[in-house]
Structure 1
């Protein structure tokens, strides 16, 4: 198979700097991985998303990147038990203290990401939690019921006595990796291995290093392992038609696994069609619903404010599961409104706290939010504001949800007459809803699900997921594979 390679923009040479010119940022080198082989080069120059840090990559060679449809993937006949054994071994090598690739990735990612270095480091310590044998086997059982369908054709007979054989066939996938957490690259690689896919990972500009670091670790363990040879990781600027018009085709791939913002997902949609589908982890927002019990006394208000702040500050609110709007059940009288305002003040204090995946001071409040909030100061007492615009936390109490997107540790508190009323604020873009007290979840979970919500949790546990659960309203691995029937009817 020969594919005409589009012309790439070469990296511009660095001319000598005049003494009066400021020093230019050092260009970071991002290697590609092509079918498990590390490829270095400085052919194309890009800039990172958050800070515009320049980095260089090799030119994409499509003929090496794409596996023809006439070839089965390298992992096609590898037993699932062997793949799990391999991933368990890989996890043992993903210890930051003794993995030079992760150490290098940590230092480089800290230069291009808004996420504080300490939080990046904490994400690198997570693989051991989801790459244990027990967790992978449990997840596969909950997803497929009979994981043997990943290894071959499994027969069943219907009530009429007709027999068919089903296989969850290994797919060909392009993964558009998320850039807001390095752990996303690690989980995507593990998921790709478990379904025996042929994979191309599109590296994110906010972190083009972590996926490559994991693949280089796998190469050190066994450079010829079929799982590794099923994987490629390359960078191109999202929306670059010269690349995407080639890759996003049904003759080469079955599905694109899309993580990213609305613009990125909308860009992918235009390439989908018969034979080439999108499995989208759409950009979502999350919220919290708090019952009147939270306002009972000072001690309870402090406890609930801490739980709410824990959910709101995940990755400094740069995560789908981070709460942005908080509806609080509150009677319409002066005493209760005073208690609500006290809760808002306590919440503001707890936003300004270092946590495992949050920093006391995050990125400053965006200008559009500052302008909107300043306009609300003239609307007191219906609107009230606590906090500053310096990234330490901002709480806005309003009679209805604000019309801007709360971000950078900005929380919108809305009083409601009942928990049922609060469910009207949820929609199909709402991922996670934290509820306090947890025993009242049953009152509203059906209404939330009807509105489109995908996950209801105890307040304070948005980041604490149970193994084997659906994600974004689906079992992802079930969607990744191609379900094929050999029917004897």
Structure 2
């Protein structure tokens, strides 16, 4: 396999083509700076503005000549070709991600190695059947109504744009699988901190079967967000029906300006995650060490780059002198567990946030208010509050830094979550069962056993919505009784 995704060694610039419905475009004319200093060349999106969207929606009919099982087989065949050591496109994506991503090479390597698992037939079949119902994708499903009418319902794919996040490479793979499984026409806008993974996936697809209907309904390109001259012509109902956007507050707010009747916005907003640990964690030393190990995984997986990583942990240690001492002991054990996680799970961050470092050093000597374990060598840190409030810079916690907050009752923890909270990891399981009906009322979107926050599945809702169902158009055929 000859890769067109090569790095020019003398200039340290990567070439990223436009892939347009099976067509490879390589007239590189624009240079962009990725995050963390990476640079890449790409063709001008404006030059191909009239070719990017699907001009004739009836051309999606070829997707309906395929059964869902044929689509699943195609995706499985693609997954078999995503072996990192054998795929030059993915190798180039990994090399660029090592420069542009916030993840370290060790964590990135593990992430790329797991990509084929996402494309396994059982995973895709489960996702489509549990979240939509394969019968609705394959046929018109009749329903008898109370007034005697028969309504047949079918889920159709949409013309979509995916504004994907680059914090973890699996976002590109999951977005591709969701789009193909719902028979969508998909345009993927590349992120600057991972501008090559989606390209590598679709270029592998093009090499595998360039004329396949799935290939002909996937496009991938980069343009700098905020190019209103280009975007105002592009984001129109005659071109696009659904925008699936991952991103921070400003990017989601910005893309909202293009919404109008006929365009639906599906967002995966910026979230924070937390943990709630009950008093049972302190029942004996072995339990405390086990809880610390599980908590460390929720903090350190993906080097705390994902929304699902815990940043604040509310611990029912009590706020008495003895309770604070118990929490300080737990903080020491948690710090040890965090820095000793295996390198394929977590490593010291590539870049430690300088503002956060100043925040930590600013409170390091305030022993009456905070005890800090670690953080001197940019390896991560555990901040133990000595009273029942988090640090005032909790919104900046990253780089494997977590804040432990003592509470007397679980109610204090419940009142600390809100609609910005995505995942809450809980110990013990009995406590999770006790509060899982209350947490959603405060805005929590996902409840997991402590230690399993990073064990996400494509076959579940995300951010308290059903993205697969929303990517579809739900059409009714109504037969009335005369």
Q: Taking structure 2 as the reference length, what is the TM-score of the superposition?
A: 0.92
2:390 is the alignment partner of 1:401: yes
Q: Is 1:127 paired with 2:112?
A: no
Stretches of structure 1 that go unaligned for 5 or more consecutive residues are 1-13, 15-22
Query: CA offsets per residue over residues 151-191 of structure 1, 9 Å max, x none?
Result: 34332221222012212111010000110111111111111
- Does the CA contact (< 8 Å) of 2:417 and 2:443 recur in 1? yes
Shift, 1:70, TM fit: 4.8
Aligned to 1:9: none
Residue 313 in structure 1 maps to residue 292 in structure 2: no
- What's the counterpart of residue 443 of structure 1? 434
Secondary structure of 2:31's partner?
strand
Q: Which residue of 1 aligns with 2:453?
A: 462
Q: What does residue 473 of structure 2 align with?
A: 482
What stretches of structure 1 move > 4 A for 4+ residues in a row? none
Alignment deviations for residues 435-463 of structure 1 (CA, whole Å, 9 cap, x no partner): 11122111211121111111111111111
Is contact 2:167-2:193 (8 Å) kept? Answer: yes
Q: CA 1:29–1:354 in 2, change beyond 3 Å: closer, same or farther?
A: farther
Q: Does the CA-based 8 Å contact 2:37-2:99 persist in structure 1?
A: no
Contact 1:363 1:391 in 2 (8 A): no
Match of 1:218 among 205, 208, 222: 205
1:193-342 to 2 correspondences below 5 Å: 193-342=180-329
Give the TM-score normalised by the residue count of structure 1.
Answer: 0.91
Residues 286-325 of structure 1, C-alpha deviations (whole Å, 9 max, x = no match): 0000111212333322221111110011211110100000
- 1:370 paired with 2:357, answer yes
Listed one character per residue, the Cα deviations across residues 331-356 of structure 1 (whole Å, up to 9, x for unaligned) are 23222221110111111222213436
Q: CA deviation at 1:397?
A: 1.9
Higher relative contact order (CA 8 A, sep 6+): 2
* Residues 240-289 of structure 1: CA deviation (Å, up to 9, x unaligned): 21222122111110111011111111111111121111100111110000
Instruction: Give deviations 1:377-431, integer Å, cap 9, x for gaps.
Output: 4543232222124331112222312232211111011001122321111111111
**Structure 1 CA distance, aligned partners of 2:210 and 2:227?**
31
Counterpart secondary structure, 1:339: helix
SS at match of 2:333: helix
Distance across 1 between alignment mates of 2:363 and 2:231 = 44
What does the per-residue CA deviation read over 1:106-130, in whole Å, with 9 as the maximum and x for residues that have no partner? 2222222231112111111223333
Residue pair 2:348, 2:400 contacting (<8 A) in 1 also:
no
* Structure 2 residue corresponding to 1:427, chosen from 392, 398, 418: 418
The answer on whether the counterparts of 2:18 and 2:222 sit within 8 Å (CA) in structure 1 is yes
1:35-114 equivalences under 5 Å are 35-49=21-35, 51-60=36-45, 61-73=48-60, 74-114=62-102
Q: Provide the secondary structure at the position in 1 that maps to 2:37.
A: coil
RMSD across aligned C-alpha pairs, in angstroms?
1.9
- For residues 32-55 of structure 1, the C-alpha deviation after alignment (integer angstroms, 9 at most, x for no partner) is 100122211221111002x12221
Unaligned 5+ segments in structure 2 are 1-7
Paired residues, number: 466
**Contact (CA 8 Å) 1:110, 1:117: kept in 2 or not?**
yes
1:413 pairs with one of 404, 407, 423: 404
Kindly indicate whether the alpha-carbon contact (under 8 Å) linking 2:297 and 2:341 is maintained by their aligned counterparts in 1: no
Match of 2:125 in 1: 137
CA contact (8 A) 1:199 1:230 kept: yes
The worse-fitting range, judged by mean Cα deviation, of 71-80 and 422-431 is 71-80
Q: Is the 8 A contact 1:316 1:357 kept in 2?
A: no
Describe the SS at the equivalent of 1:233: strand
Match of 2:4 in 1: none
Query: 2:3 maps to what in 1?
Result: none
SS in 2 for 1:270: helix
SS at match of 2:250: helix
Cα deviation, 1:12-67, whole Å, max 9, x if unaligned, reads xx9xxxxxxxx985221111100122211221111002x12221101120122111
Partner of 1:471: 462
